[in-house]
Amino acid sequence: MPVRFTGDPHMPLLWLLRDELDLVGTKFGCGMAMCGACTVHLDDTAVRSCMLPLARAAGKSVTTIEGVAHTPVGDAVQRAWVQLNVAQCGYCQSGQIMSASALLRENPAPTDADIDAAMGGNICRCATYRRIKAAIHFAAQTLRDARPGR
Ligand code: FES
């Protein structure tokens, strides 16, 4: 849905999402774009919304954890997360899913090294990294299996 905002263009995107639009699935973590909890997609790119000024989002499409399952990749990633019981406390996981979805959209068959490179900025204090990696591989396989012509 289009959103019109007439306030401070320097305000971080995360503030608009959580405080004005009540899209609270995106989390505030470090506030310095260092932990990845606030990751959303700006057009198709994963970005840290806690440091992204609204002016940079003007005219662009923003996808949050609330909407990412409306894409085949986002849906496959979320289903993989549930299937493999990835979350522990869960706080970081919306950001993890957004980064994983952006990775799989660009690279449908990532190696472990690709995953490490793409997900390295998403911190999990519960150390669910092994399950995250397994879920990304699981989602990638699910998407490959669903391709037409197989
Ligand atoms: Fe607790 Fe990642 S599941 S911080």
Query: pLDDT tens digits for 44-96?
Result: 899 999 999 999 999 999 999 999 999 999 999 999 999 999 999 999 999 99
What local confidence, expressed as pLDDT, does residue 1 receive? Answer: 83
11: left (phi over 0), alpha (psi -120 to 50) or beta: beta
Domain residue ranges of the chain, discontinuous segments joined by +? 13-66, 68-146
What local confidence, expressed as pLDDT, does residue 140 receive? Answer: 98
What local confidence, expressed as pLDDT, does residue 65 receive? Answer: 98
Closest by CA position to 29, among listed 80, 130, 99: 99
Residue 105 pLDDT greater than 90, yes or no: yes
Residue 104 pLDDT greater than 90, yes or no: yes
Ligand 1: which residue has its CA nearest to atom 1? 89
Q: Do domains 13-66 and 68-146 have the same CATH topology?
A: no
CB distance 88 to ligand 1 below 6 Å: yes
What does the DSSP assignment read for 86-120?
Answer: --SS-TTHHHHHHHHHHHHHH-SS--HHHHHHHHT
Q: Return d(Cα 21, Cα 15) in angstroms, integer.
A: 9
Class of domain 13-66: alpha beta
Ligand 1: which residue has its CA nearest to atom 2? 124
CATH of domain 68-146: 1.10.150.120
What local confidence, expressed as pLDDT, does residue 113 receive? Answer: 98
What local confidence, expressed as pLDDT, does residue 69 receive? Answer: 96
